[in-house]
Amino acid sequence: MKAVQSWGRVCASSPLAVRAVPDLGVAQALVTGGAGLPMLAHGRGRSYGDVCLNSGGMILRTTGLDRFIAFDRSSGVLRCEAGVTLQHILELCVPMGWFLAVTPGTRDVTVGGAIANDVHGKNHHWAGSFAHHVTRLELLRSSGERIVCSPDERPDLFSATVGGLGLTGLITWAEIELQPVANAFMTVQTTRFSNLETFWRLNAAAEASWPYTVAWIDCLARGGQRGRGVFMAGRHAAMQQSLPAWQESRRTIPLDPPISLVNSLSLRAFNTFYWHGARDGVALSHYVPYFYPLDAIANWNRIYGRRGFFQYQCVLPPATMRAGVDALLQRISRSGQGSFLAVLKTFGHRPSLGMLSFPRPGATLALDFPNHGRATLRLLDDLDAVVSQAGGALYPAKDARMSSTMFRQSFAAWEQFSSFVDPAFSSDFWRRVTH
Ligand SMILES: Cc1cc2nc3c(=O)[nH]c(=O)nc-3n(C[C@H](O)[C@H](O)[C@H](O)COP(=O)(O)OP(=O)(O)OC[C@H]3O[C@@H](n4cnc5c(N)ncnc54)[C@H](O)[C@@H]3O)c2cc1C
């Protein structure tokens, strides 16, 4: 059986069976069939580590559950099967004046995957996370029950399922609320900053008036330049008389290069180029390059070669976030193992709905590290020590190596959550962090 990979390509998983789920009838037969193998839903595999992998078990590929069920054009409430991707929703709904209320940094994600990781976007401080906009969903359990849950119906099971890493059963369909937009464009304000102090100031000022905020940080910069970066604030553009023409062009990385193309030279060149290439000011951007710059290059994860890369995303609480982010950047800069994409943003105060939801108040930093084996793992352990001391948490959707201790510290409600896990479902991640 061919191994199933997730996005970071560092985890090899050999399921004993991979089954396509083309419709609800097959879903029901598979989930209740009792093949004796632990099951797990798998959407587009855009999680970086092992939350979507299931060695020795059965993978249920959900991308065949791709039907739209209902859309109310006046309220923006959409009901669809769980394998529908965010890209398909945008293609259908943006021309009708509706946009996702929350979107991660790729559109190539299924609704089921977005719910199971309770994904967040650049607008957490305004809109919370994906689950805040899920009004209802249906969960298929291995007992054969099909349970509709929402914040009001079976709220306990709803809270376990959103952010529940696919462990409470198979989500078959969901109903989500969209937000109205005037067109497909964004107004984006770009500001370069030269240190973290300025980032915190810019961010605090922008959060009150911009729904989307995020910063790229040059994590290779040292000394007085440590913490320099580019701050981007955005909002959906208002109605305009004329809009620029926009045409999507997509490229692909067709093959695995024999070695990683990401090394200290290319990282330094990219970071310097990005910093000097950014232009301060306000401009219009189509929503695709604004939200999904990486989607322009299909299979971009191949640039890291066959050994793949680790993504590391943590959140630090407000009281410790400033010192904590500084300490993380110091350690990364000292290690010389930089990251192309070091993304810093703050989460707002809206409490997450899921027992295992990652978003919580504070600052979140996301980084990519080429896999250099032990040296990289040592650096990540070093970063864990900072996160742990700061009372922070790691994001399972991005993780391939957090320890059981780190998981328990990150998710205080994990024991309560375990009582909702469907006995026929499991994952490599779950076995790793709970053994
Ligand atoms: C370029 C890029 C940018 C990203 N940016 C962000 C970001 O900004 N914010 C963010 O939060 N995340 C981000 N992510 C992570 C990504 O959004 C999540 O990992 C997402 O959950 C992937 O969805 P998927 O459909 O590929 O699900 P998979 O990765 O296949 O699965 C994810 C989890 O969902 C479960 N699952 C999938 N379908 C179902 C179902 N029908 N029923 C029950 N469980 C199910 C799986 O079992 C698994 O536990 C990014 C990823 C990439 C590659």
Strands 17-20 and 58-61: parallel
Taking a C-beta distance cutoff of 8 angstroms, is the pair 303, 358 a contact? no
Is the confidence at residue 166, as pLDDT, over 70?
yes
Note if the pTM is more than 0.85: yes
Is the confidence at residue 122, as pLDDT, over 80?
yes
Q: Going by CATH, does the domain composed of 185-239+255-404 fall within 3.40.462.20?
A: yes
Amino acid type, 302: R
Q: What is the pLDDT of residue 387?
A: 98
State which of 4, 84, 109, 430 you would mutate to test the pocket of ligand 1, scoring each by most atoms of that ligand within 8 A of its C-beta: 109
pLDDT (average), residues 271-292? 86
Sign of CA dihedral 164, 169, 175, 178: positive
* 68-181 and 185-239+255-404 have identical folds: no
Spacing, Cα 115 to ligand 1 middle (Å): 8
Taking a C-beta distance cutoff of 8 angstroms, is the pair 424, 30 a contact? no
Share of the chain above pLDDT 70, in %: 96
Q: Which residue has the higher pLDDT, 74 or 241?
A: 74
Write down the mean pLDDT value for the chain: 93
Is the confidence at residue 1, as pLDDT, over 70?
no
Q: Going by CATH, does the domain composed of 68-181 fall within 3.30.465.10?
A: yes
Q: What is the DSSP string of 254-300?
A: -S--SS-S--HHHHHHHHHHHHHH---EEEEEEHHHHH-GGGGEETG
Q: Which residues of 348-380 are buried (b: 16+ CB within 10 A; e: fewer)?
A: bebebbbbbbbbbbbbbbbbbbbbbeeebeebb
Please write the tens of the pLDDT for every residue from 206-219: 999 999 999 999 88
Spacing, Cα 278 to ligand 1 middle (Å): 30
CA nearest neighbour of 272 among 213, 222, 337:
222
Ligand 1 and 106: CB distance under 6 A: yes
**Ligand 1 atom closest to the CA of 343, numbered from 1:** 8
Spacing, Cα 292 to ligand 1 middle (Å): 15
Spacing, Cα 6 to ligand 1 middle (Å): 10
Instruction: Please give the Cα distance from 415 to 405 (Å, whole number).
Output: 13
Q: Which residue in the block uniquely carries the two structure tokens 């948490």?
A: 393
Instruction: Please give the Cα distance from 171 to 148 (Å, whole number).
Output: 10
Please write the tens of the pLDDT for every residue from 338-348: 776 789 999 99
Helices (H), 155-240: 155-161, 196-207
Per mean pLDDT, which range of 120-129, 369-378, 391-400 is the poorest? 369-378
Is the confidence at residue 268, as pLDDT, over 80?
no
Which residue's CA is minimally distant from atom 47 of ligand 1? 166
Taking a C-beta distance cutoff of 8 angstroms, is the pair 254, 210 a contact? no
Is the confidence at residue 247, as pLDDT, over 90?
no
Ligand 1 and 390: CB distance under 6 A: no
Which residue's CA is minimally distant from atom 15 of ligand 1? 47
Domain boundaries, the chain: 68-181, 185-239+255-404
Spacing, Cα 246 to ligand 1 middle (Å): 28
**Coil, strand or helix: which one is 118?**
coil
What is the 3 state secondary structure string of 328-383? HHHHHHHHCCCCCCCEEEEECCCCCCCCCCCCCCEEEEEEEEECCCHHHHHHHHHH
Q: What is the pLDDT of residue 214?
A: 97
Whole-angstrom CA distances from 391 to 251, 298, 319, 363, 421 are: 41, 36, 9, 12, 26
**Ligand 1 atom closest to the CA of 358, numbered from 1:** 11
Is the confidence at residue 224, as pLDDT, over 70?
yes
Please write the tens of the pLDDT for every residue from 167-185: 999 999 999 999 999 999 9
Is the confidence at residue 270, as pLDDT, over 90?
no
Share of the chain above pLDDT 90, in %: 77
Spacing, Cα 9 to ligand 1 middle (Å): 15
Q: What is the pLDDT of residue 244?
A: 86
Instruction: Please give the Cα distance from 32 to 35 (Å, whole number).
Output: 8
Residue 141 has which token pair?
A: 């359990």
Please write the tens of the pLDDT for every residue from 34-57: 678 999 999 999 999 999 999 999
Ligand 1 and 120: CB distance under 6 A: yes
pLDDT (average), residues 121-129? 98
Element (H, E) at 309: strand 309-316
Is the confidence at residue 106, as pLDDT, over 80?
yes
Is the confidence at residue 101, as pLDDT, over 80?
yes
**Ligand 1 atom closest to the CA of 294, numbered from 1:** 1
Q: How confident is the model at residue 422 (pLDDT cuts 50, 70, 90)?
A: very high
Spacing, Cα 117 to ligand 1 middle (Å): 6
Residues 6+ apart with CB under 8 A from 245: none
Spacing, Cα 49 to ligand 1 middle (Å): 10
Ligand 1 and 49: CB distance under 6 A: no
Amino acid type, 369: F
State which of 84, 119, 125 you would mutate to test the pocket of ligand 1, scoring each by most atoms of that ligand within 8 A of its C-beta: 119
pLDDT (average), residues 396-413? 98
Please write the tens of the pLDDT for every residue from 271-281: 776 777 778 99
Ligand 1 and 41: CB distance under 6 A: yes
Q: How confident is the model at residue 324 (pLDDT cuts 50, 70, 90)?
A: very high
